[in-house]
């Protein structure tokens, strides 16, 4: 089982991923949390945030997710996932693949984000920011689309519903 959570920075990917992982671990089951930044750190930041660097990282995330899933280890991946080709590859090559897209307007993201990425990109002091100077193609074939333009979305409740409705038999 691989839960692949897609969204722009500050959309809520990590929050939802962590809520799902916590609930799986509360059942005394193993699960692996993957995040784009964690994989970058694991490989000693040998790729940058350019489109080419992001592509290489996307390849790593997909192939690691497939490998772990084949070993019977559930994976929850929180990723920007800007390459539709890798999303298609995941669906074709990963058993029990479930894609979630957290959709948030750029207006809301700019208010919500804490890293200052969008502000710096709009000021011209930071480049290679997805959604500003790198296109973010909206995923077309997600199994679930979550509108997170609202404040105070209950991610714990959302995690319960995802696990209950889609993965009760897989865990």
Nearest CA to 82 out of 111, 41, 49 is that of 49
Asked if residues 130 and 8 have their Cβ atoms less than 8 Å apart, the reply is yes
The rounded radius of gyration (Å) of the Cα atoms in the chain is: 16
Whether 14 is catalytic is no
The backbone torsions φ and ψ at residue 41, rounded to the nearest 5 degrees and listed phi first, read -60, -45
- What is the spatial distance between Cα 63 and Cα 53, in angstroms, rounded to a whole number? 16
Q: Could you give the CA distance from residue 163 to residue 170 in angstroms, rounded to a whole number? A: 9
Residues sharing a CB contact under 8 Å with residue 97, sequence separation 6 or more, in sequence order:
2, 4, 69, 90, 91
Choose, from 9, 14, 65, 81, the residue flagged as catalytic: 81
Which of 103, 101, 130, 100 lies closest to 115, judged by CA?
130
- Catalytic residue annotation: 81
């Amino acid at each position: 089982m691989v839960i692949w959570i897609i969204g722009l920075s500050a959309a809520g990917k990590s929050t939802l991923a962590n809520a799902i992982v916590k609930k799986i671990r509360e059942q005394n089951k193993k699960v692996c949390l993957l995040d784009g930044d964690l994989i970058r750190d694991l490989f000693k930041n040998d790729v940058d945030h350019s489109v080419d660097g992001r592509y290489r990282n996307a390849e790593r995330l997909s192939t690691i997710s497939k490998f772990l899933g084949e070993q019977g280890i559930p994976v929850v991946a929180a990723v920007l996932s800007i390459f539709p080709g890798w999303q298609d590859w995941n669906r074709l090559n990963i058993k029990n693949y479930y894609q979630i897209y957290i959709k948030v307007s750029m207006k809301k993201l700019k208010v919500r984000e804490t890293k200052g990425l969008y502000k710096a990109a709009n000021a011209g002091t930071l480049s290679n920011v997805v959604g500003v100077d790198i296109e973010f193609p909206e995923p077309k074939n997600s199994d679930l689309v979550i509108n997170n333009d609202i404040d105070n979305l209950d991610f714990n409740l959302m995690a319960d519903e995802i696990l209950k409705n889609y993965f009760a038999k897989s865990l």
